[in-house]
A and B are shown apart, each in its own frame.
Chain A
Amino acid sequence: MALDHGRYRRRRLRSTITVTLCWLAAALGITILGVILATLVYKGFAGLGLQVFTEMTPPPGSDGGLLNAIVGSLIMTVIGVIVGTPIGILAGTYMAEYGRYNKVSSVIRFINDILLSAPSIVTGLFVYEILVRPMGHFSAIAGAAALAILVIPTVVRTTENMLLLVPNTLREASSALGMPQSMVIRNVAYKAARAGMITGVLLAIARISGETAPLLFTSLNNQFWSTDVNAPIASLPVVIFQYALSPYEDWQRLAWAGALLITAAVLTLSILARWLGSSRTQQ
């Protein structure tokens, strides 16, 4: 039993150090999330009041709220989702159902994955070139178009993944009953994959509701009440950007209140999506 105890102890020690560092890394990750959320709640609540939801964005030095920004964000998010979701679902359907084994689908999947993480400010520049410049002015439509382009890749990805999870026996059974393929997809595959597809849409909404960069030069901003989609419109992220960088303390307070609102909305959506996604897989 000539065990080399010194060497064994050294190996154990090195392992313990590594394991401890991994614990610390995880603790650090959670601490960062905790600190960000704590700061948001602490600073955001100070500016949060009823007037945030009932009054317009103010000039510096006077009272006001974020109503027009909240409404502007909602309008553009809704249009963006309404435009982007069907395209995403249809494209995902093609890749999972019709073109499952062909080359084009893998090229589209590859490009889609790149679009998924491409810088969103580039999307803003693109929409500026194709919409804002020809129209001659910034508008809510341009902002919504930029958001729609961001919705598509997220929805394509989840739709395809969820449809691939639908067992083939289901499709075969309904084909055997004489259903054409388009009906099989719509009545059988979509039904089976519904929860997962909704998860994708929720994740897409969560993603675009915090987006700022593509809105800076598409929808610009608007200090006043506007629901005209052909005119510049305010949005929460852009107002936060503008107010946080301003030297006025009441503007900064409103920026924090807006930041708290957006984060609460985005995190609620992602938790909802995750919960929906996990309840689907447990069935």
Chain B
Amino acid sequence: MFRWLTQSSAYLVLIILGSIFLSLVAGGWIAFETFGFSFLTTEVWNPVTEQFGALAPIYGTIVTSIIAMLVAVPISIGIAVFLTELCPMALRRPIGVAIELLAGVPSIIYGIWGLFFFAPFIQRYVQPELISTFKGVPILETLFSGPPYGIGILTSSLILAMMILPFITAVCRDVFETVPPVLKEAAYGLGWTTREVVSNVVIPYTRVGIIGGVMLGLGRALGETMAVTFVIGNAHRISGSILAPGTTISATIANEFTEAVGDLYTSSLIALGLILFFITFVVLALARLMLMRIEKKAGT
């Protein structure tokens, strides 16, 4: 009896994932049927004429995530190296806990903080500098053009970076600890510097795990909703400038779902949700596979 109870609960986990997938397919069906493949390739998003294309939110989701990764990954690895190799023993726990608490702060807090504190800060001090510095430089000029709104793709990306930083740091720290001390001792014994030990021993040994952690962070960044909704500006267009407002899949759903009138509008938003779920599923599955590989290595 008890065994049966535990077993059916375990299967329930599988059923939940399956039914999330099925319900999103069912909910988004009308949109896919109406627009077909062009749903993925058109930029138009017009509730009045009931024309919906997912390209702008998909673009925003991917671009904000990529910029967030570019910022967060080096910093996370730096913190993880600091925590495992450099930090004095007495400070290790408090600093580790502080970084973990950063992961616990709810995303709506990042949102309100981003809107009232971080975006004005970026608008006043960072964006004007970027615009004037890169004026005249090809490519970069377009990337940092337009008026400094404060809110937009860049600000969202930076806030995303802060939010995923603790997750990547935690994974990196854990995998760095799987490096056998004897390897590092041997390297130091040869007279290697700390930098050489980290880049020639620690990082190659844990590469798969680091990539797993990075993918885990990417999965989070792709799906993050509230913080982005506050600061992205919610504009359904693709702009060459990362200072311009944009939108992401999750921000579009959060902003428009309760206001969506008509089956086609609702269905298009659910179809967006399905796309998001699919992308994050693939990324997170890859992350888990990589982390499982390093766990196996640590076990033997």
Q: Which chain A residues have a beta carbon within 8 Å of chain B's beta carbons? A: 11-12, 14-15, 17-19, 21-26, 28-30, 32-33, 35-36, 39-40, 43, 86-88, 90-91, 93-95, 97-99, 104-105, 107-108, 110-115, 117-123, 125-126, 128-130, 149, 152-153, 156, 181-182, 185-186, 206, 209-213, 216-217, 220, 237, 240-241, 244-245, 252, 255-256, 259, 262-263, 266-267, 270-271, 274
Contact = CB atoms under 8 A, between A and B. Distances in A.
Contacts of A114: 17, 281, 284-285, 288
Contacts of B57: none
Chain A contact residues: helix, strand, loop or mixed: helix
Interface stretch (B40-48, B132-140, B141-149, B188-196): B188-196
B273 interface: yes
A252 B83 CA distance: 38
B78 A117 contact: no
B277 A118 contact: yes
Nearest to B250: A121
Interface of B: 1-3, 5-7, 9-14, 16-17, 19-20, 23-24, 26-27, 74-76, 78-79, 81-83, 85-87, 95, 97-102, 104-113, 115-117, 162, 165-166, 169, 193-196, 198-199, 216, 219-220, 222-226, 229-230, 250, 253-254, 257-258, 269-270, 273, 276-277, 280-281, 284-285, 288, 292
A186 B2 contact: yes
A119 B277 contact: yes
A129 B253 CA distance: 14
A40 B280 CA distance: 31
The interface centre, meaning the residue of A39, A104, A213, A237 with most chain B CB atoms within 10 A of its CB, is: A213
A125 B253 contact: yes
B290 to A, nearest CB: 12
Contacts of B104: 206, 266-267, 270
Given A24-B78, A90-B5, A217-B257, A119 B106 contact: no
Contacts of A209: 106
A121 B273 contact: yes
